[in-house]
């Protein structure tokens, strides 16, 4: 029975939905489509957020608080309606209101197209951090790009990945607020010239070849059960109306229009971050475009609050999410010196105190550099500033280490070997007061490898902030059954302090809890099984162990190690039909960069194995293989809560952190993993007994590669491995085609850069232990409960508190709603 006040507010809610249906969708209830109802509901929720937003913004301006600005080329925010309802505490009200209107809330939630404005971990991390910032009541702005086309949608056709364009805006989105009045101009090309102003100062003017206009599109970010509502401000590029006006004679008209088309392409499409050479020029332009808009916006906010520009670093902390926004270091210098007339020294002091840089990868092929001639032609003034930063910095290096020209060459912002390049990680490191890695191991390796010289020179600049993920989306919203069970067992305090889950460990052997735990998990698995049946036609019994690897497809993440083990398991089962191994369903998901052929071949291999294994009467009751197409945030919601086993099997030293590993752990999956990234800390938290560890350590990997790794050696020693590779070569998983997987096999046999063969035996042995433990239901349940119990450290709230305390020096501001 609803209380009277609940009933009243539900009636108001219902009324608001109908009003929005009519006034915003221009539809009346009798003919409204589910899409119309979704939009009307979303606008109703948005209105409730905007009241809080106004109050938040007013407060920040009034009290001159310090604002954390998160600069990121990607924000993979996922579907918005469910999370906003959750954070506002409106789920039940909305459900009942929609019910009265004859609409099913879950069906409406399913309609939402997610904005795929990111590739994977890095973009999703940025979104989790915005959620935590708002929930912890920290004033914050996310700055990024409003891509018209986000990450592609993935189809699987004949086992191959096929990319489809993602037109996420085709039905419009209720979550953005266009702000035509908030816009800035960004220059490209042209040349610079020096002149003396009236005061006799030497000034530099950048005479651009063209300009692009950036318009703000705001997405509100609601905190969990607080009034704080922050903003994600995304920039869309547009043509400048009047630029080129002089050229508008008959002859140049079409050229001028073409110029406008080019301007609008800047924010057109998201690029994969793991595909080197493609779309280079446009990518640099995208980076500079959004960064310049963001910094101009921050300077404007200083002005409207009447704060002198000298206090910039007291009002803003700006985090560089990888090197993609690192041109910001030079752009802030330009704005302060050329436009605000500050001295170099004052501008540099502000810049260094404002910025901090997060590194997300050590892979050499992933370190961002830009060709110097390209940058010179596109951003001539910024290159001058980068040269000046470099010169002053290298003078400092020379003073610190006289005569050590080796250090100078290694630390220079410019790579002088061959074609000259600007090293963006060096620019970010020199221009920041703090530099962090994203897991303890990764931060250590960062200091020992790519930023070694910098760490030696500026030891106090370096720190670790282990990644985290938001429990709002990844437990409360996606696993409501578990959330209820946690409430019943622990009370509700865990919802705002995830470390409270710890108390669950005391009940890990409790038979009643174990029973309820299994029931929740069973229901989640049934839901995923049904979805898999619908999408792929593969029937998977929920009793099987669900062994899941979902993440971008990459050689370093080693989906092919998993695949090789499945093949060898399949061979053993065929040979000995009475073999006593746990029935398992291996589930894969993830996208390959469109230009990454090896990754696409790995998808084809998994599909090929699935095709053979799933229809073989000898094994089909005990072994299933599924490639779940189009892995994204939305699909993650049903996948993570259904996992028994989480595959985190990257070559040690290669995965900076991983965040999927944390989502699985929170939802009670056990991990099979290497000592890589945050796996190390996951194992420390869960306890070695509750983690399936295998494989070489990062040190052993480095040593083996130093001493000359020979994959053939491991092949000779392992018959199962030979047979598995041989069966691939024979065309068993390619419908008889013996050439299809040749590139993959040649790579493994001759180079194997990620040591798949070296780790195979230990991985297979570890999988054997997994099967044995699975047979002991109580033991598995206990381990599962302990994993959830110890996952509190991996909340993004913990990570954000560390950023606030150790890097940003920002504090919470309570927002009261005027009655």
| Residues of this chain that bind ligand 26M (CB under 6 A) | 120-122, 125, 273-274, 276, 322, 360-361, 363, 365-366, 438, 467, 655-659, 677
Residues 6 or more apart whose Cβ sits within 8 Å of residue 348: 333, 389, 392
Least distance in angstroms from the C-beta of 324 to ligand 26M:
9
Q: Which is nearer to ligand 26M, 76 or 585 (CB)?
A: 76
CA distance 791 to 482: 14
Distance CA 498, CA 501 (A): 6
How does 452-484 read in b/e, with b if 16+ C-beta sit within 10 Å?
A: ebbbebbeebbbbbbbbbbbbbbbbbbbebbbe
Residues 6+ apart with CB under 8 A from 505: 785, 786, 789, 790
From the list 48, 52, 360, 732, the catalytic residue is 360
DSSP single-letter state for residue 505: G
Map residue 422 onto helix, strand or coil: strand
Q: How far is the CB of 677 from ligand 26M (least distance, A)?
A: 5
Residue 693, strand partner residues? 673
Q: Which residues contact 194 (CB under 8 A, 6 or more apart)?
A: 202, 203, 204, 205
Give catalytic status of residue 515 as yes or no.
no
Of the candidates 46, 233, 315, 663, the residue annotated as catalytic is 663
Min CB(283)–ligand 26M separation in Å: 12
CB-count exposure of residue 532 (10 Å: 0-12, 13-18, 19+): buried
Angle (nearest 5°) at CA 18 between 14 and 24: 135
Among 557, 622, 637, 683, the one annotated catalytic: 557
Exposed, middle or buried by CB within 10 Å (0-12, 13-18, 19+), for 416?
exposed
778 is catalytic: no
Locate the DSSP E strands across 353-405. Answer: 355-358, 369-371
Q: Which is nearer to ligand 26M, 82 or 658 (CB)?
A: 658
**How far apart (Å, rounded) are the C-alpha atoms in residues 650 and 634?**
24
Catalytic site includes residue 351 = no
- Catalytic residue status for 557: yes
Cα–Cα distance between 640 and 603 in angstroms, integer? Answer: 20
610 vs 656, which CB is nearer to ligand 26M?
656
- Smallest gap, in angstroms, from Cβ of residue 590 to ligand 26M? 12
> Tokens in use for 729?
């070569």
Is the Cβ of residue 366 or residue 440 nearer to ligand 26M in the bound state? 366
In the complex with ligand 26M, the residue whose CB is nearer, 74 or 244, is: 74
- Joined together, the tokens standing for residue 649 give 């099997």
- Shortest separation between residue 273's beta carbon and ligand 26M, angstroms: 5
Nearer to ligand 26M, 592 or 786 (CB): 592
CB 269 → ligand 26M: shortest distance, Å?
Answer: 17
Q: Work out how close the CB of 209 gets to ligand 26M at its nearest, in angstroms, rounded to a whole number.
A: 30
Q: Which of 66, 472, 552, 591 is catalytic?
A: 552
Q: Residue written as tokens 């280490």?
A: 401
565 annotated active-site = no
Long-range contacts formed by 451-459: CB under 8 A, 24+ apart = 451/359, 451/425, 453/407, 453/410, 453/411, 454/411, 454/426, 454/429, 454/430, 457/397, 457/400, 457/411
Number of H helices, E strands in the chain: 32, 22
Q: On the CB side of 180, how many CA atoms lie within 13 Å of its CA?
A: 2
- Shortest spacing between CB 630 and ligand 26M, in angstroms: 19
- Closer to ligand 26M by CB, 480 or 753: give it: 753
CB of 622 to ligand 26M, least distance (A): 33
Instruction: Kindly state the smallest distance separating residue 557's Cβ from ligand 26M, in Å.
Output: 9
Catalytic choice (66, 447, 551, 560): 551
Side by side, which strands form the sheet with 414-415? 369-371, 421-423, 414-415
Given the complex with ligand 26M, which of 551 and 584 has the nearer CB atom?
551
Based on the residue annotation, tell me whether 496 is a catalytic residue of this protein. Answer: no
Residue number, 65 or 363, with CB nearest to ligand 26M: 363
The residue among 121 and 641 lying less far from ligand 26M, judged by its C-beta, is: 121
Nearest CA to 157 out of 625, 604, 602, 739 is that of: 604
The answer to whether 734 and 603 have CB atoms below 8 angstroms apart is no
Active site residues: 360, 551-552, 557, 659, 663
């Amino acid at each position: 029975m609803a209380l009277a006040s609940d009933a009243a507010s539900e009636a108001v809610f219902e009324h608001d939905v109908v009003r929005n249906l009519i006034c915003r969708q221009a539809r009346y209830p009798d003919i409204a489509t589910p899409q119309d109802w979704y939009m009307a509901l979303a606008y109703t929720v948005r209105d409730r957020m905007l009241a809080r937003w106004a109050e938040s913004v007013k407060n920040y301006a009034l009290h001159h608080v310090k604002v954390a600005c998160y600069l990121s080329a990607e924000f993979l925010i996922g579907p918005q309606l469910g999370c906003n309802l959750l954070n506002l505490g409106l789920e039940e009200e909305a459900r009942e209101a929609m019910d009265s209107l004859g609409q099913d809330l879950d069906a409406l939630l399913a309609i939402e197209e997610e904005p795929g404005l990111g590739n994977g971990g890095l973009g999703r991390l940025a979104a989790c951090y915005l959620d935590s910032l708002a929930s912890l009541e920290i004033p914050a702005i996310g700055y990024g790009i409003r891509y018209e086309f986000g990450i592609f949608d993935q189809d699987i056709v004949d086992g191959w990945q096929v990319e489809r364009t993602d037109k996420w805006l085709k039905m419009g989105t209720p979550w953005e607020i266009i702000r035509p009045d908030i816009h800035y101009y960004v220059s490209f090309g042209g040349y610079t010239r020096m002149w003396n102003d009236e005061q006799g100062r030497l000034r530099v003017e950048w005479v651009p070849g063209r300009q692009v206009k950036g318009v703000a599109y705001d997405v509100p970010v609601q905190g969990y059960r607080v009034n704080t509502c922050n903003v994600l401000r995304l920039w869309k590029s547009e043509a400048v109306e009047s630029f080129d006006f002089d050229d508008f004679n008959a002859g140049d008209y079409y050229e001028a229009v073409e110029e406008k088309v080019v301007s609008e392409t800047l924010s057109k499409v998201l690029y994969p971050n793991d595909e080197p050479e493609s779309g280079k020029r446009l990518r640099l332009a995208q980076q500079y475009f959004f960064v310049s808009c963001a910094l101009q916006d921050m300077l404007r906010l200083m002005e409207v609050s009447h704060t002198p520009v000298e206090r910039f670093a007291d009002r803003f902390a700006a985090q560089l999410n990888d090197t993609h926004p690192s041109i910001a270091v030079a752009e802030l210098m330009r704005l302060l010196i050329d436009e605000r007339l500050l001295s170099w020294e004052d501008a540099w002091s502000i810049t260094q105190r404002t910025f901090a840089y997060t590194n997300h990868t050590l892979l050499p092929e992933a370190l961002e550099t830009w060709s110097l001639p390209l940058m010179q032609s596109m951003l001539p003034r910024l290159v001058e500033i980068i040269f000046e930063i470099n010169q002053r910095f290298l003078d400092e290096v020379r003073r610190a280490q006289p005569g050590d020209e080796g250090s100078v060459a290694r630390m220079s912002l410019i790579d002088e070997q061959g074609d000259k390049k600007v090293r963006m990680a060096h620019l970010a490191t020199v221009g920041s007061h703090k530099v962090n890695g994203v897991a303890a191991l990764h931060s250590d390796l960062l200091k020992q490898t790519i930023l070694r010289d910098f760490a030696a020179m500026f030891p106090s600049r370096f720190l670790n902030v282990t990644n985290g993920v938001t429990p709002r989306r990844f437990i409360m919203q996606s696993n409501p059954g578990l959330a209820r069970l946690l409430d019943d067992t622990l009370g509700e305090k865990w919802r705002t302090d995830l470390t409270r889950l710890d108390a669950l460990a005391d009940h890990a052997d409790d038979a009643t809890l174990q029973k309820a735990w299994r029931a929740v998990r069973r229901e989640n698995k049934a839901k995923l099984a049904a979805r898999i049946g619908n999408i792929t036609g593969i029937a998977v019994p929920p009793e099987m162990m669900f062994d899941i690897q979902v993440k971008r497809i990459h050689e370093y993440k080693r989906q092919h190690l998993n695949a090789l083990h499945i093949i060898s398991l399949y061979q053993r089962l065929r040979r000995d039909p009475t073999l006593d191994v746990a029935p398992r369903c291996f589930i894969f998901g993830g996208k390959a960069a469109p230009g990454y052929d090896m990754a696409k071949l790995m998808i084809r291999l998994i599909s090929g194995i699935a095709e053979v294994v799933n229809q073989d009467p000898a094994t089909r009751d005990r072994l299933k293989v599924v490639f779940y197409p189009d892995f994204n945030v939305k699909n993650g919601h049903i996948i993570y809560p259904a996992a028994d086993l989480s595959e985190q099997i990257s070559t040690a030293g290669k995965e900076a952190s991983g965040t999927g590993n944390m989502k699985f752990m929170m939802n009670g999956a056990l991990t099979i993993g290497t000592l890589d990234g945050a796996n190390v800390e996951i194992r420390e938290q869960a306890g070695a007994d509750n983690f399936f560890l295998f494989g070489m350590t990062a040190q052993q990997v480095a040593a083996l590669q130093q001493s000359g790794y020979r994959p053939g050696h491991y092949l000779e020693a392992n018959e199962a491995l030979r047979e598995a590779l041989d069966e691939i070569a024979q065309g068993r998983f390619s419908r008889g085609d013996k050439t299809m997987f040749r590139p993959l096999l040649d790579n493994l046999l001759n180079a194997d850069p990620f040591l798949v063969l070296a780790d195979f035996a230990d991985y297979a042995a570890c999988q054997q232990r997994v099967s044995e433990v699975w047979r002991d239901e109580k033991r598995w349940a206990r381990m599962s409960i302990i994993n959830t119990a110890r996952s509190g450290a991996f909340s993004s709230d913990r990570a954000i508190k560390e950023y606030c305390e150790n890097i940003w020096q920002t504090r919470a501001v309570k927002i009261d709603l005027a009655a």
